[in-house]
Chain A
Amino acid sequence: MSRDKKDKLQPASALPDPSARKHPTKIRISEDAEAAGEVATAYDFWRAGSGRQQVPGIIKCFGARPDFLRQVVEFSNKLHFSEGHLSRRHKEMIASYVSFLNRCPY
């Protein structure tokens, strides 16, 4: 762990600064409305599975590889969004805790 413990606890940038609103993400992603071709089809794949319209930001991050985006959706559904050896609630608890530990605002 090169960064010392104290520094690790400070989130690097808790909230993206307002000026970044135009391009909210550091790496370009296709928003729902602007997605086209394979990306749009992959977003629709997620919508069909979830029954929701607005594609979550994390899923859109995989738009550069729509083929992989589908696999991410599939294995997330299979592993996380389902009862397994652990209940979904239990997994959600672990997921939230991990995201807290990783200080991931999303």
Chain B
Amino acid sequence: MVYVKQITEDAARSTHADVQKLRDAGWKEDQIAEAVYITALFAFFNRVADAFGVPSQDYLSKGRTTP
């Protein structure tokens, strides 16, 4: 999750060493790649949702995730 924060906030400055830490922790190359896809995918959704100002679905207050 430290890596996810790194990629979210400053991907350009992420390093080989950052990735190596994940390998050392047991992550396979494909898993690291997919984690980056998801991280970037949700940056995309976050940006669009914020630009449009989509109201939150109040999952927390409603206590359920489907309407």
Binding site for B on A (CB under 8 A): 1, 15-16, 20, 24-27, 29, 52-54, 56-58, 60-62, 76, 79-80, 84-86, 91, 93-95, 97-99, 101-102, 104-106
Contacts and interface: CB of A to CB of B under 8 A. Distances in A.
* B-side interface mostly: helix
Contacts of A29: 52, 54
Interface of B: 1, 4-5, 8-10, 28, 30-31, 33-35, 37-39, 41-43, 45-57, 66-67
Nearest to A24: B55
Nearest to A52: B66
A7 B49 CA distance: 21
A-side binding surface: helix, strand, loop or mixed? loop
B38 A102 contact: no
B40 to A, nearest CB: 9
A104 B8 contact: no
